[in-house]
């Protein structure tokens, strides 16, 4: 079969190629060369959409040997690249062919296969690659080293270390590979390369990736004495990476750092790095370590800047703390600096008195915002509640809340009526962190004759702390004409053990306000099965606008008693409720619903069909395995994906062939699920 002319529209072209391929598969599935010719049209298309569709078809329908011939051909680079991608997507299905190629003498094809194996993330690939390190061809050695590094193979480390003394390009490949693997056995050899004219920076980057304490003392010594840039930048980043990995500075290294601070060399280096306005030298911007999450390309998010902060905290360089606090006011670094300061809590607390009384208001606010305090500094933080600036008082509220400082409750309560919203909200949040029995000072604020926003705030505090104080006042608030007050009161009542609370919540199902009704449902679910399940079940026969919420809520109980009532309701329920019923039934995890799910798998409603497939994949038994095999051939990708997941759950050997087919499905999500399932079935992904 051939396609003489294709539509101009890319989407229509892709569909035409797919339809022609699938028709040929049905009529003549063994005609691989004809399939190849159809798919190659897509490979050579000018648009990525058509090429992507053709790659999926190749992975699904072409045998690895056919794809291998396209990879081995140098007539068309576009076709070769597409074929390589298709082979990668075949995953374990292609493994026997890849083994065969590696045993051959086609060096160029072997190099392509090495690259494909590197992308499989399959443990068996390592055993195939290791012998290639002994090959005489340096190009093949290089790509093999890179592949083993990509696979993070610790098993390969002993064979990779000798390449650190080989030719330059092999050295570079070995350093990069060892960096990715992260094995401590590489530390000493890499330290030996720090003085290398070309490899020094790469070796330091690798040492930072490995982050072993074995390298820390030597790197700190070099950092204190080295003045050349950007070598010193790389040293700083490597030291910080190790410190961030949970390692402390030893006494000897601390002495060297202290001496470097005294003579000015270290401060003169670090201070410009941490200045937001710029620096006296350009940093090494290409240093990347896994411990950091840099989303910013400017100085506020650079690796070098963060490394300087880490060293400041770890080595307790007090004179640089104000600079660190200024940096923390930058939105891009705020959370990261908070976390870092808390990692070095003792050092931060030691300088807290100076920081909290600093003449610069920005420093005081930032010091409170960091929140790295304990009870020994609570009194000092309380003094900040009297600061002249409301934003600093608000930060003090937040810090005291984090400390659960009971001694500050009275003064925090007075902030509930503050005219400054930021300070008021901070006080509410802080009180919500306090012990529930300590909130007596809030009683006077539960007065509807005063500001209702304050009443709601206090109810929020009682809910957050699960306090059972002021019960009569809260029950009385259920009579308020403001539905938002009733909702807030409901959430507090749910924490009371009295039967009256359950009765009040149940009665709220009849409330005039739909939001209050919804809140009542949610609270009934939270309260537990014995008391509330009958109340919710009784509402199923009523055609309420929120019945779908009730159905959804029943799923949280995971109780078999809901099965028959829900199946009975299903036939007369609208489609959106039917989907909720299916989801709720599946949550029971009862095999009793399997016959019902089998009926729904034939539904013309795609969402219902998918939900039924989801349930069958999780509940079906070994004696009904044929149904999963049948679902694996469904036209809908979602159903095939669920079938693959279900096969992985049962992990039966007879699913192997079906999963190998799904492992090269045209939909990548199906292929990934099938590959994961194959790994659960013994013997299906081992080297043959």
DSSP code string of 147-213: HHHHTT-GGGHHHHGGGGGS-HHHHHHHHHHHHHHT-GGGHHHHHTTTT-TTTHHHHHHHHHHHT-G
What pLDDT was estimated at residue 464?
A: 94
Tell me which long-range contacts 137-141 makes (C-beta under 8 A, separation of at least 24). 137/107, 138/167, 138/169, 138/170, 139/111, 140/107, 140/110, 140/111, 140/114, 141/170
What pLDDT was estimated at residue 568?
A: 95
Among all chains, which residue has been given the structure tokens 């402390």? 248
What pLDDT was estimated at residue 208?
A: 95
Is residue 687 scored above 70 in pLDDT?
no
Find the Cα–Cα–Cα–Cα dihedral 381, 382, 385, 386, rounded to 10°. Answer: -110
Over residues 22-63, the pLDDT tens digits come to 989 888 867 888 889 999 999 998 999 999 999 999 999 999
CA distances 467 to 3, 414, 425, 463, 464, Å, are 74, 19, 19, 7, 8
Residue 537, class by beta-carbon neighbours within 10 Å (0-12 exposed, 13-18 middle, 19+ buried)? Answer: middle
Q: Name which of 636, 635, 684 is nearest 658 in CA terms.
A: 684
Question: Of how many residues is the chain composed?
Answer: 688
Report the chain's C-alpha Rg in angstroms.
Answer: 33
Over residues 494-525, the pLDDT tens digits come to 989 888 888 899 889 889 999 999 999 888 88
pLDDT band (50, 70, 90) for residue 81: very high
pLDDT band (50, 70, 90) for residue 3: low
What pLDDT was estimated at residue 529?
A: 57
Q: Could you give the 3-state DSSP secondary structure of residue 267?
A: helix
Is residue 430 scored above 80 in pLDDT?
yes
What pLDDT was estimated at residue 123?
A: 77
Is residue 290 scored above 50 in pLDDT?
no
Beta-carbon contacts of residue 617 (< 8 Å; ≥ 6 apart): 628, 631, 642, 643, 645, 646, 649
91 contacts 120 by C-beta, under 8 angstroms = yes
What pLDDT was estimated at residue 301?
A: 52
Q: How far apart are CA 666 and CA 55, in angstroms?
A: 8
Is residue 540 scored above 80 in pLDDT?
yes
Ranking 100-104, 403-407, 532-536 by mean pLDDT, the lowest is: 532-536
Find the Cα–Cα–Cα–Cα dihedral 240, 242, 244, 250, rounded to 10°. Answer: -90
What pLDDT was estimated at residue 530?
A: 62
Q: How far apart are CA 251 and CA 255, in angstroms?
A: 6
Which helix (H) or strand (E) is 43 found in, with range? helix 32-43
Is residue 165 scored above 80 in pLDDT?
yes
Over residues 121-159, the pLDDT tens digits come to 777 889 999 999 999 999 999 999 999 999 999 999 999
Is residue 398 scored above 50 in pLDDT?
yes
What pLDDT was estimated at residue 286?
A: 44
pLDDT band (50, 70, 90) for residue 299: very low
What pLDDT was estimated at residue 294?
A: 38
Mean pLDDT of all residues belonging to the chain: 90
CB atoms within 10 A of CB 653: 10
pTM above 0.75, yes or no: no
b/e for 260-297, b at 16 or more Cβ within 10 A?
bbeeeebeebbeebbeeeebeeebbeebebebbeeeee
Ranking 128-142, 207-221, 316-330 by mean pLDDT, the lowest is: 316-330
């Amino acid at each position: 079969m051939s396609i003489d002319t294709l539509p101009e529209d890319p989407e229509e072209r892709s569909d035409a190629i797919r339809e022609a391929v699938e028709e040929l598969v049905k009529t003549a599935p063994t005609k691989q060369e004809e399939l190849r010719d159809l798919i190659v049209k897509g490979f050579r298309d000018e648009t990525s959409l058509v090429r992507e569709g053709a790659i999926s078809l190749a992975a699904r329908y072409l045998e690895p040997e056919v794809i291998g011939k396209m990879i081995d051909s140098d007539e068309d680079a576009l076709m070769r690249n597409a074929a390589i991608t298709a082979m990668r997507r075949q995953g374990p299905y292609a493994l026997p062919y890849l083994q065969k190629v590696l045993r051959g003498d086609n060096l160029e094809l072997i190099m392509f296969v090495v690259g494909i194996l590197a992308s499989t993330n399959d443990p068996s690939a390592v055993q195939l690659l290791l012998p290639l390190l002994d090959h005489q061809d340096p190009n093949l050695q290089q790509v093999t080293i890179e592949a083993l590094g990509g696979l993070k193979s610790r098993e390969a480390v002993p064979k990779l270390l000798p390449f650190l003394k080989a030719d330059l390009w092999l050295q570079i490949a070995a350093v990069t590979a060892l960096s990715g693997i992260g094995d401590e056995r590489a530390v000493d050899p890499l330290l030996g390369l720090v003085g290398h004219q070309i490899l020094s920076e790469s070796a330091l980057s690798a040492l930072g990736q490995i982050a072993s304490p074995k390298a820390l003392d030597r790197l700190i010594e070099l950092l204190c004495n080295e003045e050349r840039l950007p070598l010193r930048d790389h040293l700083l980043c490597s030291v910080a990476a190790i410190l961030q990995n949970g390692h402390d500075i030893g006494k000897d290294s601390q002495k060297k750092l202290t001496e470097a601070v005294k003579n000015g060399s270290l401060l003169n280096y670090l201070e410009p790095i941490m200045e937001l306005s710029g620096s006296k030298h350009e940093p090494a911007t290409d240093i990347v370590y896994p411990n950091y999450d840099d989303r910013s390309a400017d100085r506020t998010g650079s690796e070098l800047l963060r490394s300087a902060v880490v060293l400041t905290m770890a080595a307790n360089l007090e004179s640089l703390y104000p600079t660190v606090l200024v940096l923390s006011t930058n939105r891009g670094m705020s959370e990261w600096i908070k976390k870092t300061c808390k990692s070095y809590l003792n050092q931060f607390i030691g300088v807290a008195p100076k920081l909290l009384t600093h003449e610069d208001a920005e420093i005081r606010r930032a010091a409170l915002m960091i929140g790295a305090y304990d009870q020994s500094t609570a009194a000092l933080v309380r003094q900040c509640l009297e600061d002249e600036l409301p934003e600093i008082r608000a930060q003090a509220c937040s810090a005291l809340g984090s400390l659960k400082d009971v001694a500050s409750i009275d003064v925090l309560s007075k902030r509930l009526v503050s005219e400054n919203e930021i300070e008021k909200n901070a006080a509410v949040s802080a009180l919500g962190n306090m012990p529930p029995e300590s909130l007596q000072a809030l009683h006077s604020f539960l007065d509807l004759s005063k500001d209702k926003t304050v009443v709601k705030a206090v109810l929020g505090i009682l809910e957050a702390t699960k306090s059972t104080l002021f019960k009569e006042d809260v029950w009385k608030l259920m009579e308020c004409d403001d539905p938002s007050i009733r909702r807030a009161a409901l959430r507090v009542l749910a924490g009371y053990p009295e039967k009256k609370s359950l009765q009040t919540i149940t009665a709220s199902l009849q409330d005039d306000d739909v939001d209050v009704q919804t809140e009542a449902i949610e609270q009934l679910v939270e309260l537990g099965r014995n008391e509330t399940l009958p109340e919710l079940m009784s509402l199923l026969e009523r055609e309420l606008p929120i019945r779908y919420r009730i159905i959804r809520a029943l799923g949280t109980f995971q109780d078999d008693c809901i099965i028959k009532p829900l199946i009975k309701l299903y036939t007369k329920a609208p489609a959106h409720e039917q989907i909720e019923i299916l989801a709720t039934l599946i949550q029971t995890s009862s095999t009793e619903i399997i016959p019902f799910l089998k009926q729904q798998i034939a539904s013309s409603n795609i969402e219902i069909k998918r939900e039924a497939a989801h349930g069958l994949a999780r509940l079906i038994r070994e004696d009904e395995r044929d149904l999963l095999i049948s679902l694996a051939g469904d036209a809908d990708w979602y159903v095939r994906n669920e079938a693959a997941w279900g096969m992985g759950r049962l992990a039966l050997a007879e699913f192997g062939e079906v999963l190998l087919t799904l492992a090269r499905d045209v939909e990548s999500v199906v292929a990934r699920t099938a590959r994961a399932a194959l790994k659960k079935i013994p013997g299906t992904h081992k080297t043959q």
